[in-house]
Amino acid sequence: MAKKNTLQTWIVIAVLILSGAVVGNMFGLFGDGAPQGTVATQSGGAVPVGELSCEDVSCPQNPAYTYSAVDKFAKSTTVGGTDQIKVGNNAPVSSLANPSKCDMLSFWKDNSTYYCNPSVSEQVVCGSNQVQIECIKNASSITLTAYDQYTTLTNGGGASNITLGANGVKNVRMTYEGTAKQASLPFGGAMCIETPSTVSTVTPSGAGVSTASYEATFGANINGIASATAGNNIKCFAIPNGFDASGDGATKEMTLQFKGGSSASSGSVIITLYANDYYVTDAGNFALGVEKDKNDDTTKTGGAVATYTIGITG
């Protein structure tokens, strides 16, 4: 009888061990394939973590958010302006301390003297959180200079004209010098060039500026110069994103090539740089551009960064 009782005891122990392993695997105690633990849902039930959606998870502390912006090159400097807090597909609001959990949230600071990059849209999470973005101060001044080879062409034309005869070609060297720890074209922009109608083409090259022109819609006289001559040609060329975002104040060099038409040229070449910046569209989104084209209007996001005028004669 003793041997029989001993055998029964071992069978019971074996069954208990196997049952424990099965139960353990059910709760993720063994192996990597099962959900690890359970979480209480808002309805009071408990389900494995791997089966939860964001909405199912209860917050021990409801979402709380603060928003700020700092100078990219001097992070102790706070950047003011108007908060633009965008949740999901809604239009931005200027104040939202407690967004709803799981919503998609992005943030932009609207400041007239800084260029600010919006934050990447992220899902709202539980607890206290901070959204902080970096901004670059608009340079108080930049230096734009044009040269005929190595002779400086005086801004405003006059005695320092370039000569372009019928069917002629002329190359003008132009330099852009920025300001340290600031920028005027951090998001790129446009180089718009007004030429007399006798100039058949103008093509920029260098510093990443596009060689292909596009039609600007922000006013017929886009340079904003009262004496611009009717009938002149205006072409705009894209300046690349990040043009001077490094804030190192380095000089960038470009070449402008002018080709004459069937007759000698005479008049003014007006070169104007415009900056891309962010704005809120009518649809409530953050968009980047020189003009508010997503709003179907011709309002520019900012004024001219720099203007340079060269006299041209045949």
The full length of the chain comes to 314
The pLDDT of residue 220 is 54
**What confidence tens digit (pLDDT) does each residue in 182-227 have?**
999 999 999 999 898 899 999 999 999 999 998 887 765 555 443 4
Of 263 and 219, which is predicted with more confidence? 263
Residue type, 83: D
The pLDDT of residue 168 is 94
The pLDDT of residue 29 is 33
Mean per-residue pLDDT of the chain = 83
Q: Say yes or no to pLDDT of 50 above 80.
A: no
Q: What is the mean pLDDT of residues 251-276?
A: 93
111 within 8 A of 135, measured Cβ to Cβ = yes
Residue 206's closest CA among 175, 179, 248, 168? 175
Residue 17 CB burial class (10 angstroms; 0-12, 13-18, ≥19)? exposed
Q: What is the mean pLDDT of residues 287-301?
A: 89
To the nearest whole percent, how much of the chain has pLDDT over 90? 58
Q: Say yes or no to pLDDT of 149 above 80.
A: no
Burial 157-166 (b: 16+ CB within 10 A, else e): beebbbebee
Two structure tokens written together for 178: 């920025």
Q: Say yes or no to pLDDT of 74 above 80.
A: yes
pLDDT band at 95 (very low <50, low <70, confident <90, very high): very high
Q: Return the minimum-mean-pLDDT range out of 23-27, 96-100, 142-146, 251-255.
A: 23-27
Helices (H), ranges, the chain: 2-26
The three-point CA angle 114-295-234 to 5° equals: 80
Residue 199's closest CA among 262, 147, 243, 136? 262
SS3 (DSSP) at 233: strand
CB atoms within 10 A of CB 300: 21
